[in-house]
Amino acid sequence: MAVVTDQVTLTVDGQSVTVAKGTLILDAAKKLGIEIPIFCSHPKMEPVAVCRMCLVEVEKMPKLQPACAVYVMDGMVVRTRTEQVQRYQNGVLEFLLANHPLDCPICDKGGECPLQDQTYTYGPGASRYDFPKKHFDKAVPLSDKILLDRERCVLCWRCTRFSAEISGERELALIQRGKDTIIGTFNDQPARSEYQGNWTEICPVGALTSRQYRFISRPWDLDRTATICPGCSMGCNVHADARHNRLGRFQARENLAVDDGWLCDFGRYSFPSFQREGIERPRVRRDGRLEEVSYEEAMAAAAQSLRRAGPATAGWASPAATNEELFLFQRLLREVLATPHLDHGRGRGEAATALEPDDAALPIADLERCDHVLLLGGQAVIDAAPVLHLRLFKSERKGVRVHRVDDARAALEAVPAEAQAVGIVSSLGRKPEVDSLQGKLARKVKGSVRRLLVPDGPNGRGATDLGFGPGRGPGYASLDGKAGRARPDWEAAGVRALYLFEASPLHDFQASGEEREWIQRLETVVLQRPRPSPLDDLAHVILPGRAFVEKAGTVTNMEGRVQRIRPAIDAAVVRDDWKILQGVAQALGADWRYRDPDEVFADLSRAVPAYRADRIGERALWSERA
* Tens of pLDDT, residues 416-453: 999 999 999 999 999 999 999 999 999 999 999 999 99
Q: Are 361 and 450 in contact (CB under 8 A)?
A: yes
Neighbouring residues of 10: CB distance < 8 A, sequence distance ≥ 6: 16, 17, 19, 28, 72, 73, 74, 75, 76, 77, 78
Residue 382 main-chain phi, psi, to 5 deg:
-65, -40
Comparison of pLDDT for 624 and 125, the residue scoring more: 125
pLDDT tens sequence across 38-85: 999 999 999 999 999 999 999 999 999 999 999 999 999 999 999 999
Residue 346 has pLDDT above 80, yes or no: no
Please give the pLDDT value at position 608: 95
pLDDT exceeds 70 at position 351 = no
SS (H, E, C) 392-443: HHHHHHCCCEEEEECCHHHHHHHCCCCCCEEEEEEEHHHHHHHHHHHHHHHH
pLDDT at 354 exceeding the cut of 80: no
pLDDT beyond 80 at 623: no
Query: CATH 3.40.1010 in the chain, residues?
Result: 357-454
- C-alpha separations of 174 from 158, 161, 478 in Å: 11, 10, 60
Per-residue model confidence (pLDDT) at position 124: 84
Where does 164-264 have alpha helices with state H?
A: 197-202
pTM of the model as a whole: 0.94
Q: Is the pLDDT of residue 347 over 80?
A: no
Cα 194 to Cα 390: distance, rounded to the nearest angstrom: 11
Percent of the chain with pLDDT over 90: 89
Instruction: Give ranges for CATH 3.40.50.740 in the chain.
Output: 283-340+459-624
Instruction: Check residue 387 and give its pLDDT.
Output: 98
Q: Is the pLDDT of residue 560 over 50?
A: yes
| CA–CA gap between residue 346 and residue 508 (Å, rounded) | 7
pLDDT at 348: 54
Predicted local distance difference test score (pLDDT) of residue 626: 37
Q: Give 289-303 pLDDT, tens digit per residue.
A: 999 999 999 999 999
Q: Which fold has domain 7-81?
A: Ubiquitin-like (UB roll) (3.10.20)
Whether residue 38 contacts residue 205, with contact meaning beta carbons closer than 8 Å, is answered with no
Whether residue 353 is predicted with pLDDT greater than 90 in this model: the reply is no
Residue of 68, 129, 137 lying closest to 93 (CA atoms): 129
CATH number of 132-274: 3.30.70.20
| Residue 62 pLDDT | 93
- Please, which pLDDT band fits residue 374 given cuts at 50, 70 and 90? very high
Fold classified for 357-454: Cobalt-precorrin-4 Transmethylase; domain 1 (3.40.1010)
Residue 1, pLDDT > 60, answer no
Domain with CATH 3.30.70.20 in the chain: 132-274
Name residue 214's beta-bridge partners: none
pLDDT band at 12 (very low <50, low <70, confident <90, very high): very high
Beta-sheet pairing, 289-292 with 283-286:
antiparallel
∠ Cα 473 479 481 (to 5°): 155
**Which residue has better confidence, 543 or 124?**
543
Sheet holding 208-210, edge to edge: 140-141, 146-148, 208-210
Region 210-231 average pLDDT:
95
- CATH classification number, 283-340+459-624, choose in 3.40.50.850, 3.40.50.740, 3.90.650.10, 2.40.100.10: 3.40.50.740
Q: What is the mean pLDDT of the chain?
A: 94
pLDDT above 50 (res 625):
no
- CA nearest neighbour of 258 among 242, 234, 239: 234
Is 21 within 8 Å of 7 (Cβ atoms)? yes
pLDDT tens digits for 162-204?
999 999 999 999 999 988 999 999 989 999 999 999 999 999 9
